[in-house]
Amino acid sequence: MSIKIIPTKCTGCEACINACPYGAIKIKGNIAHLLDNCTSCMACIRECPTGAIVLKDPGSYQEQPRTLIEQGTGVWIFVEQRHGIPAGVVYELLGRGQALAHDLGEELCAVLLGYNIEFIAGKLAKYGADKIYIVDDKALSDFEDEPYAQVIAGLVTEFKPSIFLFGATTIGRSLAPRIAAKLGTGLTADCTELSIDKKDRLLLQTRPAFGGNIMATIICPDKRPQMATVRPKVMKPAEHNQARTGKIIRIVQEIAPSRAKFLETYKTPGQQENIQEADIVVSGGRGIGEPGNFRLLQELAALLGGAVGASRAAVDAGWVPYANQVGQTGKTVRPKLYIACGISGAVQHLVGMSSSDVIVAINNDPNAPIFSVATYGIVGDVLEIVPALISKLRGSSS
């Protein structure tokens, strides 16, 4: 913690308590005290009317100079792909990227790295890319942060896009910050909304902040490109247009050898399917009663060819891993069918699943809010209804 409170100056007026976004100040004995969760964000220093909150070492803090680097042009998206198959979020980036490029009157460009991957380029054009930058090199066969970041930072320095978007996937979350750090620009992680401030031509990057309690819109006025990672399944994917074509630009770059050596990829035994890629998600909440009952949901999901999701209550109880959590602080899903079992339908859960095509809710409380978004509602005990569904699907009478 790099700030301190001067007790003799503090009047206990509580202005700092209202200013602190982290709830990290308490008044004890009419004097403010900093708690361990203080991040030294300095919001309290600005609000304190008596100058009682100060930096411990004022010389250590220097305001960064605000210099706008070259403006740049073009909305870029990173094409995450495995074995030549683009990740689902790529189509969502192309969809929103088209709208942003349109608002700016700029081109939408896709950046494709890998080995023997040029065949993907035509598809990217049909989903809206005006230009596709391709770096096809054996050194890029498998994703590795170092060579990918080196190559992409080189492309940005040469072509100077105004905006650069990545999926907020494991790869995107690892790669984008490395590139932003190399380029000395800002990055907003995990955005749920992107739009353009047409007056200032700035990217408005919206994401949940402070534990999901507020939505913050962030801008990057001084540096380029404006970089963001985007939550999968939040934005609508681009539409396919067979008539569209794009310009392919092949780039050859010298790639420095990576310090890491890629050995192999393997699936962890018992690893759940990715709920964001599944067409059917069977989710359970506190109403499931106990962890063992999740076996019923796994059985139902397996019969339907789907994956198992969960509410935060079920995850917090340790019944299901966090990777399966649906909602504001979990994953956003948009399956063809979402079956909510024993989930009340708190707003933080609904934001993660309400765009599903068909929602079936099973709950013993007819007034549960989940029914307000459900296509079909079943009022009853989930531990009777799910076994009945399983039995029906197996072809025997329930």
Ligand X SMILES: Cc1cc2nc3c(=O)[nH]c(=O)nc-3n(C[C@H](O)[C@H](O)[C@H](O)COP(=O)(O)OP(=O)(O)OC[C@H]3O[C@@H](n4cnc5c(N)ncnc54)[C@H](O)[C@@H]3O)c2cc1C
> 29, 49, 184, 211: which one contacts ligand X (CB under 6 A)?
211
Backbone phi, then psi, for 110, in 5-degree steps?
Answer: -105, 140
> 34, 112, 189, 314: which one contacts ligand X (CB under 6 A)?
314
Contact, 345 vs 369, CB < 8 A? yes
Looking only at the bridges linking them, the beta strands covering 214-218 and 202-209 are antiparallel
> 368, 374, 386, 389: which one contacts ligand X (CB under 6 A)?
368
- 34 versus 343: smaller Cβ distance to ligand X: 343
Number of H helices and number of E strands within the chain?
Answer: 10, 21
Q: How far is the CB of 293 from ligand X (least distance, A)?
A: 9
Beta bridge partners of 134: 112, 250
Q: At what angle do helices 145-159 and 170-183 cross, to 10 degrees?
A: 50
Tokens 């900093």 correspond to what residue?
Answer: 34
Map residues 322-341 to x or -, x wherever contact with ligand X holds by CB under 6 A. Answer: ---xxxxxx-----------
Beta bridge partners of 78: 111
161 makes contact with ligand X (CB under 6 A) = no
- 231 versus 312: smaller Cβ distance to ligand X: 312
216 makes contact with ligand X (CB under 6 A) = no
Tokens 């031509």 correspond to what residue?
Answer: 201
Q: How far is the CB of 37 from ligand X (least distance, A)?
A: 15
- CB burial readout 323-344, b (16+ within 10 A) else e: ebbbbbebbbbbbebbbbbbbb
Lookup: tokens for 212: 């999901």
212 makes contact with ligand X (CB under 6 A) = yes
293 makes contact with ligand X (CB under 6 A) = no
Neighbours of 117 (CB within 10 A): 20
Map residues 340-359 to x or -, x wherever contact with ligand X holds by CB under 6 A. Answer: --xxx-x-xx--x-------
249 makes contact with ligand X (CB under 6 A) = no
Map residues 75-114 to x or -, x wherever contact with ligand X holds by CB under 6 A. Answer: ----------------------------------------
CA distance between the termini of the chain: 62
209 makes contact with ligand X (CB under 6 A) = no
The one segment of 87-95, 146-154, 270-278, 320-328 that binds ligand X by CB under 6 A: 320-328
The site for ligand X (CB under 6 A) is made up of 211-213, 285-287, 311-314, 325-330, 342-344, 346, 348-349, 352, 362-365, 368, 381-383
